[in-house]
Amino acid sequence: MTDTAQVTKLYRYEAHSRSHWVGDDYTQLDGMQIEEHIFPVRRHTPGGYWFFDPRTSKERWVSARARRAFAYATKEEALNSFRIRNARHIQHLKNALDRALIARDALDQPDLFKQNTAVDLLGAVTNV
Encode pLDDT of 39-59 as tens digits: 999 999 999 999 999 989 999
Segment holding 29, helix H or strand E = strand 25-45
Is residue 97 included in any domain, yes or no?
A: no
Residue ranges making up the domain that contains 8: 4-84
Is residue 89 included in any domain, yes or no?
A: no
Is residue 46 included in any domain, yes or no?
A: yes
Is residue 99 within 8 A of residue 32, CB to CB? The reply is: no
Is residue 94 included in any domain, yes or no?
A: no
Is residue 89 within 8 A of residue 95, CB to CB? The reply is: no
pLDDT digits (tens, 9 = 90+) for 110-122: 776 666 666 665 6
Is residue 79 included in any domain, yes or no?
A: yes
Count of the separate structural domains present in the chain:
1
The whole-model pTM stands at: 0.72
DSSP state of 15: E
Is residue 48 included in any domain, yes or no?
A: yes
Calculate mean pLDDT across residues 23-45: 81
Check pLDDT > 70 for residue 104: yes
By C-alpha distance, which of 100, 98, 71 is closest to 85?
71
Check pLDDT > 80 for residue 79: yes
